[in-house]
Amino acid sequence: MHLIRVGGSALNQTPLDWDGNRDRIIAAIRAASDARVSILCLPELCITGYGCEDAFQSPGVQRLAVDVLGEIVPHTAGMIVAVGLPVRFESGLYDAAAVVADGQIAGIACKQNLAGDGIHYEPRWFRPWHRGRRGTLSLGGRDVPIGDLRFDCGGVRIGFEICEDAWVADRPGAVLTARGIDVILNPSASHFAFGKDEIRRRFVVDGSRAFASAYVYANLVGNEAGRAVYDGGVMVAAAGRMLASGRRFSFTDHALTTAVVDLDALRLAQARLAVEAVPDAAEGDRVAVAFTPPAASGSSEDAGHDARDAWERGQHVKEEEFARAVSLGLFDYMRKSRARGFVVSASGGADSSAVACLAAIAVRLAVSELTLPAAAARMGLSPVAGAADTDVRSLVETALTCVYQSTANSGDVTRHAARSLAVALGAVFHEFDVEPLVRGYEKIVTGAVGRPLTWQRDDVALQNIQARVRSPGVWMLANITGALLVSTSNRSEAAVGYATMDGDTSGGIAPIAGIDKAYLRRWLRWLEQTGPEGVGPIPALAAVNVQAPTAELRPRASGQTDEADLMPYDVLDAIERAAIRDKQTPLEAWHRLRHEFPGHDAKLLAIWTERFFTLWSRNQWKRERYAPSFHLDDQNLDPKTWCRFPILSGGFARELAALRLAAASES
């Protein structure tokens, strides 16, 4: 047997945080060295951060990345480390991984396939490296090879698939197999989305089997640049078998996952593959490295371990993923924006209650993994004076403030729900009476227009002023405490503009703007009864979940509800999927609805469909102004990262005329 220990480390990096990124990389290398890892894979672009956007184009950024690489190199004694960074070569910039062996840069492997869909804009900054191309680059005063390379380190052969390279049909790994490879490293920056982890697990395991190699996948973790949340989940597989899996959604700066692989067993599998070997002389892609990775002690059965939490194999994976992804995203957004805690305008309804719960869950999960003093230090907070180190409620109280802002149209049900939930979470709770502010604005405008305002004539204006006067007070409270004001808008309401700009959309982050209202309500019921593993249920949500969602902006006698104003949320979300995700016309969406909702009248479905398309096109300007939201699936409406639509358009006039004609023909 020829055993070596390989590993990957998840890293929580921040774009352009040169010293912080360097120190976390060095800490990960030290942890790997202590674990006797011979070959370590670090995430994609981990020196600069993946989310540098147009800053990648700065020559200064490119130079600093190389400088920081030079500061990391001396810490790699006795091992091989792959470190991600942008590298300029000739006239192009490339997404690359530097192979550093025992304190020397051996060469630079470059990404061949760029991600340019969804939230990715890699072709804006980088060029794809063409298969088979190679060159020489001056780096740190030395000439090193760059390009489509494999590294022969004392007989241990290493190749690369960098993130998107593994997601395409024509994977570089197939060519590497023909060239003879033992270990494939995949430095990635793969953002979280529901169900995506299972896809990653398949390409890691299937790649290791198809390529008869060890396969090491390393990923970022945390909210790196604002909108994308990375879930970590480092994996090591060999010859079709998963050897080790790292924990996902960790609150730590770095998390190492290792496994022992038997190179002799891999080479036996390679010999059985029906592929034609490529001679070294013909390809010229082999970089000889004068360093042999140290052999591992022990047995090939000592492969590694599965560090995934039990919830990943449970019945509520999506609910757990939502809770953990958004909580980690909020936690990192707060601390990296240098805010001190969260402020939530708590209406007692589903949206603000979900946001408050997610902020509290973030604190609880951080404490459970880091301990209370460490979590408080990362958040820049101190628990309530006199609290015990184990009293997580004291840190929640320091970190989370909820404010219920009442008008004449507010009711005791929502007031009680907001207060009881804040108490259950351990948050600070305030109540602001903003009715005098509403009356003051009404008086000013009445004088300006020369007539009294009425609900029959001024319905929208009278609703909106109530939502808007709630913004300055919570902004002021957030400013005084240095906290992050969290917006409470969801995706369903963003789709149709059912939100008041500078009112309930106010905030520095909109954590639930990427999730639909129907799912959010289901998640809140799960949270009331079950809750995340290690946190448990929040029974106080019962007072929220029994209510029909309402903006509570009209007089109570009107019986206002969101669904009466719009349409049933499950129908709204179905139209959104058809129209936005699947790019269907109003008529096509209506036909789909008739099959999906046979219990609703076809003409009523047509009315709702027309309402959706009209409001969608009319309210793009609102979506352009939303606070940043987290990416959770392929239905995001964020125009800056996913779903672009013109602010001014024809409003689907011709398409809606076709819908009305078809609906009119229904008997």
Domain spans in the chain, listed from the N-terminal domain onward: 3-308, 313-558, 567-667
Between CA 184 and CA 198 the distance in angstroms is 20
Average pLDDT on 236-240 reads: 96
Taking only the tens place, the pLDDT of each residue in 147-163 is 999 999 999 999 999 99
Question: What pLDDT score was predicted for residue 271?
Answer: 87
Which DSSP string corresponds to 440-454? HHHHHHHHHHTS---
Question: What pLDDT score was predicted for residue 280?
Answer: 52
Are domains 3-308 and 567-667 of this chain identical in fold? no
Query: What radius of gyration, in Å, describes the C-alpha atoms of the chain?
Result: 28
Between CA 500 and CA 509 the distance in angstroms is 16
Q: Which CATH class is domain 3-308?
A: alpha beta
CATH superfamily membership of 567-667: HUPs (3.40.50.620)
DSSP-derived secondary structure letter, 246: P
Question: What pLDDT score was predicted for residue 118?
Answer: 85
Between CA 480 and CA 472 the distance in angstroms is 12
- Both tokens of residue 594? 């008739």
DSSP lists the bridge partners of residue 147 as: 109, 134
H-helix or E-strand spanning residue 344: strand 342-345
- The residue ranking higher by pLDDT, 575 or 550, is 575
**Confidence label for 284 from pLDDT (cuts 50, 70 and 90):** confident
| pTM of the entire predicted model | 0.95
Between CA 549 and CA 559 the distance in angstroms is 11
Taking only the tens place, the pLDDT of each residue in 375-418 is 999 999 988 777 776 789 999 999 999 999 999 999 999 999 99
Question: Phi and psi dihedrals of 455, rounded to 5?
Answer: -70, -30
Residues near 58 by Cβ (< 8 Å), separated by ≥ 6? none
Which DSSP string corresponds to 354-419? HHHHHHHHHHHHHHHHH-HHHHHHHHT--PPTT--TT-HHHHHHHHEEEEEEE-TT--HHHHHHHH
Question: What pLDDT score was predicted for residue 283?
Answer: 64
Mean pLDDT, the chain, integer: 95
Question: What pLDDT score was predicted for residue 59?
Answer: 97
Reference 90, options 41, 38, 127, 43; nearest CA is 127
Taking only the tens place, the pLDDT of each residue in 623-665 is 999 999 999 998 889 998 899 999 999 999 999 999 999 999 9
Question: What pLDDT score was predicted for residue 171?
Answer: 96
What pairing do the DSSP bridges indicate for beta strands 3-11 and 142-147? unpaired
DSSP lists the bridge partners of residue 96 as: 85, 110
- The residue ranking higher by pLDDT, 385 or 215, is 215
Taking only the tens place, the pLDDT of each residue in 532-556 is 999 999 999 999 999 998 888 899 8
Tokens 């042999």 found at: 292
Q: Which CATH class is domain 313-558?
A: alpha beta
**Confidence label for 281 from pLDDT (cuts 50, 70 and 90):** very low
Does residue 200 have a pLDDT over 90?
Answer: yes
- Both tokens of residue 279? 């001679």
- The residue ranking higher by pLDDT, 309 or 525, is 525
Residue percentage of the chain with pLDDT more than 90 = 89
Residues near 363 by Cβ (< 8 Å), separated by ≥ 6? 331, 375, 379, 392, 395, 396, 399, 400
Which DSSP string corresponds to 526-589? HHHHT-STTT---GGGHHHHTSPP----S-GGG---HHHHS--HHHHHHHHIIIIIS---HHHH
- Around 432, how many Cα atoms within 13 Å sit in the side-chain half-sphere? 24
**Confidence label for 513 from pLDDT (cuts 50, 70 and 90):** very high
Does residue 42 have a pLDDT over 50?
Answer: yes
Residue percentage of the chain with pLDDT more than 70 = 97
**Confidence label for 297 from pLDDT (cuts 50, 70 and 90):** confident
Question: Phi and psi dihedrals of 525, rounded to 5?
Answer: -70, -40
